[in-house]
Chains A and B, each alone.
Chain A
Amino acid sequence: MLGTLMAFTLNGIVLGLIYAVVALGFTLILGVMEVINFTHGVLFAYGAYLAYTLQPFLGFWLSMLVAPLLVGLMGLAIEFFLVRRVYGQNPLFGLLLTFGLSMALEEVIRMIWGRVGRSVTAPAFVAGSLDLGFMLYSRYRLFLAALAILVILAVWYFLMRTPYGAVIRAGAFDAEMVMALGKNLPWMRSLVFALGAVLAGIAGVIAAPIWSIRPPMGTAILMPSYLIVVLGGIGSFWGTIIGGLIIGISTSISVMIFPRISDLVPYLLMALVLIWRPRGLMGEKSILEV
């Protein structure tokens, strides 16, 4: 029993870290541009599918690099041709635009890769399991967790420690002033959108070997990401990470304890947190809301 609980908890942490990477991109776009980007989930799916397609040609490492970059380019194009038209407008426009676009992009996945699920094999060097002393655990999942943590720290460093990150945070707080100081905000916004897309892509690539790749996988991850962002506090960096872990662990454990209502648990958690703190766990001390 205890061993099972440990395994489910570990699975939950790994799941939570993937969620956190996805939700980080989502909240970055929401925090800086005030657009709820419904294409975020389908971009996650493109990350996984592109990795699946590229791996036979490029190998594991290179496809891991190239697939998220391609997803970033998709994000850049989506922002440049479509999303930038709705900045500063009724938030409903952005929501409808990206919602429609995500459905179209999901259909494109069905057209290119078909309806059936695919699977990606983890590379040999992380195959099998590792003895943690108290239990055996999948090497690939550990590797995935380490990668996710690395990505999260890299994003943190970029936002909090580089001048470019400072411009992004300042732009989220007072876009007009940042422009009046000579910073090309339209270009910066495109880059933030692309960065958000890259994060979705990375999560898709690293999650591919543990999840079966299916066309609706993007829609499936969108809801938890949204919950995490609301739970953690919109635009809050650490709130998003903590929210990701909470949703990941609670989903995983509830699957074990009450499988019948496990889908409901994240929503219940969010409702509880919002009753207690309407702005989410770290809503006031957000990094983007400078």
Chain B
Amino acid sequence: MLRVEGINTFYGAAQILFDLSLSIERGETVCLLGRNGAGKTTTLRSIMGLTSPANGRISFNGEDITGKPSFVIAQRGIGFVPEDRRIFPSLTVRRNLDIGAKKGSSGNGLAEWTEKIIFEHFPQLAKVADRVGEYLSGGERQMLAIARTLMGNPELVLLDEPTEGLAPLMVQEVIRIIQTLKEKGMSILLVEQHPKALSIADRVYVMSKGEMVYEGDAKEILDDAALKQRLLGI
């Protein structure tokens, strides 16, 4: 459903991504790994149209979305949950959800997300529904960032290190939610360092210094300690 073919992305004069390719099939959970600074965030930003690649091609559901403005890409059905959450601090949780909202299921058998359903899946958020973003805890912010993106009823979500900086209990909760999304048939591109993420993933990509260096089944890595050590340093 998502096809990234040979993209090169720059920040100013500095080239960050080199001839990078990846693909995600419908309903798949794909994990993107790599050390800090490898270019994982830049990859997600390229897909989302926030930092458009200089060349190469990105297509989604067969449509070329290379160089399209990010709001068009979001409307086509790709949701983005940024690394730093970026919730709107002076707006309440409900209003934050409104900003992400796009009515109607994206089709493909995915059920529609509404505020009510969101609050069922994120009970912690329901409790603070009328609190402004500024006063949310780190965990609540991450929940809200995910929930806000889901309100746009995407077919594919790009999650950038969703467990980063969270307390162990919140990490569990985030992983449970990703698991739920997967069971609902959502396609997921997950950037994550947490080893737990590997057990959710169907497939794994590893990048280093802006290049894709490995692609394989998640199982392969999990089962092969030597490979795991080499690729992830764990």
Which residues in A have some Cβ–Cβ distance to B below 8 Å?
163, 166-167, 169-170, 173-174, 176-186, 287, 290
Contacts and interface: CB of A to CB of B under 8 A. Distances in A.
B155 to A, nearest CB: 13
Contacts of A186: 69
A182 B91 CA distance: 18
Contacts of A181: 71, 74, 80, 99-100, 148-149, 152
Contacts, number: 64
Contacts of B101: 163
A177 B82 contact: yes
Interface string B131-151: 000000000000000001100
Nearest to A167: B99
B71 A184 contact: yes
A38 B231 CA distance: 57
B98 interface: yes
Interface of B: 48, 50, 69-71, 74-75, 80, 82, 86, 88-91, 95-96, 98-102, 148-149, 152
Nearest to B152: A182
Given A174-B86, A174-B88, A185-B71, A180 B99 contact: no
A184 B96 CA distance: 16
Contacts of A174: 86, 88
Contacts of B70: 176, 179-180
Given A181-B99, A181-B152, A183-B99, A170 B88 contact: yes
Contacts of B71: 179-185
26 contacts: A163-B101, A166-B98, A169-B90, A170-B91, A170-B95, A170-B96, A173-B89, A173-B90, A177-B86, A177-B88, A178-B99, A179-B69, A180-B50, A180-B71, A181-B71, A181-B74, A181-B99, A181-B100, A181-B148, A182-B71, A182-B75, A182-B100, A185-B71, A287-B90, A290-B88, A290-B89
**Which of A163, A182, A183, A290 has the most chain B CB atoms closer than 10 A to its own CB?**
A182
Contacts of A169: 88, 90-91
A251 to B, nearest CB: 33
Given A181-B148, A183-B99, A166 B80 contact: no
Given A180-B80, A184-B71, A185-B71, A290 B90 contact: yes
A174 B89 CA distance: 10
Contacts of A180: 48, 50, 70-71, 74, 80, 82
Contacts of A177: 82, 86, 88
Contacts of B89: 173, 290
A177 B99 CA distance: 10
Contacts of A163: 95, 98, 101
A182 B102 contact: yes
